[in-house]
Amino acid sequence: MSEVKKVVLAYSGGLDTSVILKWLQDHYQAEVVTFTADLGQGEELEPARAKATAAGVKDIYIDDLREEFVRDFVFPMFRANTIYEGEYLLGTSIARPLISKRLIEIANETNADAISHGATGKGNDQVRFELGAYALKPDIKVIAPWREWDLLSREKLMAYAEKHGIPVEMKHKQGGSPYSMDANLLHISYEGRHLEDPKAEAEEDMWRWTVSPEAAPNEAEYIDIEFKQGDIVALNGKAMKAHEVLAELNRLGGKHGVGRLDLVENRYVGMKARGCYETPGGTIMLKAHRAMESITLDREVGHLKDELMPRYASLIYNGYWWSPERVALQTLIDHSQLHVNGWVRVKLYKGSVSVVSRDSNTDSLFDADIATFEEDDGAYDHRDAEGFIKLNALRMRTAAKFRSKK
């Protein structure tokens, strides 16, 4: 252990990483550098600085990464309409490669020997953090306390914190272990407590960003969403930066009860796990982006994207953002978005997002003269359909003839 003199810790100031900070100091006798990422989690981050200072940390990094997070990670993912296992919008997964990137940058800046994280040995995040770190700095040492210590429950962590005078915020009014939560501009997640029983309904007072659909306004609200090359650039005619777009969509979606998800998912390490998620802005983004593509994207390109999306989603979920295959897929996806320009109008009402209109002045492939059910003045010759159908039926007709002889 003596070779580790300095460690960069991904530090939130919560229960797990507060205990890890003290444990690293005692167990490794190492200097700890803390890194706290502002990814738009909506919480005051200065208390993390105060806690780190009180713990004797000299080098404290608190970085505002909101714009980089949405612009360089969330938006590229949404260009692919990415969802995992049909429902999950990957709010936790997509933040991990950025955190890994910054951990390595800080390790290089401070000449640290190792990095450390608070991901458990049962979860996906340990894989995501470490795959990213090794991709960016192959020889970096990674310290994962959950794979080394015996503090394998929330109760043991809290007892350790009490013994060493580490302040811990209780995130549940009824006491006991807090929810295991992760928040950023894309989502907030909840695990643990009674959610470990898939039969138990989530408590209403658990949700932080969204009202229940029953309590949402009785009047619908419309949003005009403008796209440029697959990314949202303006809401209701107002140009915005990437992180501002997502923050405003979160506000509007949360107001109307949009974006709640209760999911049992398959973790990469092999187990099923139940989590609850709030992703109001992302839910709106996905719906609007698919609507924009519906009139600007070639049919076969769109279908190819849909075929590749589950693979792309698994790469992100499993931690392979920095892999060559993800980069290659991203190149194809980004090329497909060159003509995804225009606007979409959505309606928010009682937990739902509905597309009500869409248009592109420059790139629409929708031709009303061809698609009309009225007279089209010869734009489409109905007689062409006969040969088209017969050619496509040829293999089935041939097979049916041979089978009928048996």
Catalytic residues: 16, 96, 125, 180
Residues sharing a CB contact under 8 Å with residue 381, sequence separation 6 or more, in sequence order: none
Secondary structure of 320-353 in HEC code, one letter for each residue: CCCCHHHHHHHHHHHHHCCCCCEEEEEEEECCEE
Residues paired with residue 31 on neighbouring β-strands, in sequence order: 6
**Which of the 8 DSSP states describes residue 70?**
I
- Yes or no: say if 350 and 344 are a contact pair by the CB < 8 Å rule: no
Helices (H), 200-298: 242-255, 280-296
Q: In this structure, what are the phi and psi dihedrals at residue 195, rounded to the nearest 5 degrees? A: -65, -15
Half-sphere exposure of 259 (CA within 13 A, CB side): 33
Count, in order, helices (H) and strands (E) of the chain: 13, 14
Instruction: Find the farthest-apart pair of alpha carbons in the chain and give their distance in angstroms, rounded.
Output: 87
On whether the CB atoms of residues 230 and 340 are closer than 8 A, the answer is yes
Q: Determine the Cα–Cα distance for residues 192 and 14; give it in Å rounded to an integer.
A: 15
CA separation for the pair 289, 223 (Å, rounded)? 13
Contact 159, 177 (CB under 8 A): no
Distance CA 283, CA 288 (A): 9
Of the CA atoms within 13 Å of residue 400, those in its CB half-sphere come to 5
With beta carbons less than 8 A apart as the criterion, state whether 141 and 113 touch.
yes
Q: What angle do CA 270, 119, 109 make, to 5 degrees?
A: 130
Q: In this structure, what are the phi and psi dihedrals at residue 128, rounded to the nearest 5 degrees?
A: -65, -50
Closest alpha carbon to 264 in 83, 88, 82, 81:
88
